[in-house]
Amino acid sequence: MARAMGTTSAIPRLIVHAAMSALYFLLMASTFNVIGVLLPAMLRDLHMDWSTAGLGFTLLGTACGLASMLPSLLVRRIGMSLTLLIGAATLALGYAAFEMAQSAALYEAGAVLLGIGFCLCGPVPGVNVIAQRYGAHAPSAIGLYFMLGGLGSVIGPKLVTLSPWIVADWRLFWSICAGMALLCGVFAAWTVRTPTHATDHTPTSAQSGYTTRAALSTWGFWAVTLAYTATVLMNTVLHNFAVAHILARGGLANDAASVLSGAALIMVGVSSIAGLLVERWSARGVTLTALLALALAGLALASPQSWTSLALFALAFGIGWGLSYTGSAALLVDWFGLRANLELYAIMGTLSTLAALGPVIGGHVRDASGSFVPVFAGLAVIVSATVLTLLLSKAPARA
């Protein structure tokens, strides 16, 4: 198989994909999406207030954003395998800090370590490794990668809520996560120890594409980054405020949870075909569809609440969420190649950290207006403007 792939690696690309996907699944199942579920129990046992608990989340997101350039710097200097090992060790230390925490200090330290580990083991290296090994079929492989990560974001919280022992003994849960991080990280590092490259002379070849400086000088890169940031902004704000908005309009907690769960299930299904849509259609077309769906989701929430509007929201949000990350990642590779993909993806991720301001601004708008309607309507306008920007952007000339 290695010979058929034109590589010097003895590891089949399917195993490499499985290893990177398992690592991403763990990240999505045990960081952002699960910490919030366990926080009430941790808060009680550690005698923390909600301000301190919120600070941990802020530190987690900030560390993840500020460390976005770290994977590309390490990979270029010490290689992908050692970078993943360092990332796995950082994750294990973060989980261990949670497990051993007796006060807020170790909880906050663990949040920072998990944010850094997420960057070192997450999509920045994952997308690059998979794209190099799948050549022209990289979009489908990338879509599968994001789908499996999406499953983690669905299964992780459900596992916790359906397992009372996890809430009762959250320290054991974090110990298990530490062990799984080391196991998945070592396995992934072993599979990528010898780099492989596509040899079909397509734009996804690791030797072709723009340099970082050349890409940054094009309008196209900034258009892709704007699209990616808009999707992160919409996803972040909707996850923060959708439930509160539904409840404020008279909905029940179970109804609100069902709407978001339905959107998550749709996201998983759409993610499974996102890469195939990129190959059959275009990366820009898929990205534009994702943005349009997210704008529609915002409008659905801003409209008078009914089961029809909530169903439309779940459908549109699930589609936009499921297409957005695969579309943006594939569009970056399609337009700029793999030569500087590590750096470009990392820069795009760093700039998208600006989306973290969304919940803060949205909260102020809600307090000033007394409603979340202006927040969701404003997001729909921002995303629609992003659609227009991407439509007017031309694909850069092949490097």
Note whether 221 and 160 are same-domain residues: no
- The per-residue b/e assignment along 169-199, b for 16 or more CB within 10 angstroms, e otherwise, is ebeebbbebbebbbebbbbbbebbeebbbbe
User: The domain spanning residue 369 has which CATH number?
Assistant: 1.20.1250.20
> Percent of the chain, pLDDT > 70?
92
Note whether 184 and 234 are same-domain residues: no
Note whether 104 and 150 are same-domain residues: yes
Residue 291 and residue 231: Cα distance in Å, rounded?
A: 7
Residue 155 buriedness (CB in 10 A; 0-12 / 13-18 / 19+): middle
CB-based contact 120:69 (threshold 8 Å): no
Q: Does 385 have pLDDT greater than 70?
A: yes
Note whether 119 and 234 are same-domain residues: no
Residue 222 and residue 41: Cα distance in Å, rounded?
A: 42
Note whether 263 and 185 are same-domain residues: no
Residue 129 is assigned to a structural domain of this protein: yes
- What is the total count of domains within the chain? 2
In the structure encoding, which two tokens stand for residue 59, read together? 């530190």
Q: pLDDT tens digits for 137-187?
A: 888 898 899 889 888 888 888 788 778 788 788 999 999 999 999 999 999
In the structure encoding, which two tokens stand for residue 85, read together? 């090992």
Residue 136 and residue 148: Cα distance in Å, rounded?
A: 21
CB-based contact 208:338 (threshold 8 Å): yes
Give the Cα-Cα-Cα angle 115, 148, 241 (nearest 5 degrees): 60
CA 194 to chain centre: 26
Whether this model's pTM surpasses 0.75: yes
Q: pLDDT tens digits for 238-275?
A: 877 787 788 777 766 567 767 877 888 898 889 888 88
Note whether 227 and 372 are same-domain residues: yes
Note whether 258 and 141 are same-domain residues: no
Please state, as a whole number, how many other Cβ atoms lie within 10 Å of the Cβ of residue 307. 10
Residues sharing a CB contact under 8 Å with residue 125, sequence separation 6 or more, in sequence order: 20, 71, 75, 80, 83, 84, 87, 342
Residue 293 and residue 287: Cα distance in Å, rounded?
A: 10
Note whether 182 and 249 are same-domain residues: no
Note whether 146 and 285 are same-domain residues: no
Residue 202 is assigned to a structural domain of this protein: no
Residue 200 is assigned to a structural domain of this protein: no
Question: Domain containing 166: what range?
Answer: 2-191
Q: pLDDT tens digits for 39-93?
A: 878 888 888 877 777 777 778 878 888 888 899 899 989 999 999 999 999 999 9
* Most confidently modeled range among 28-32, 132-136, 219-223, 241-245: 219-223
Residue 39 is assigned to a structural domain of this protein: yes
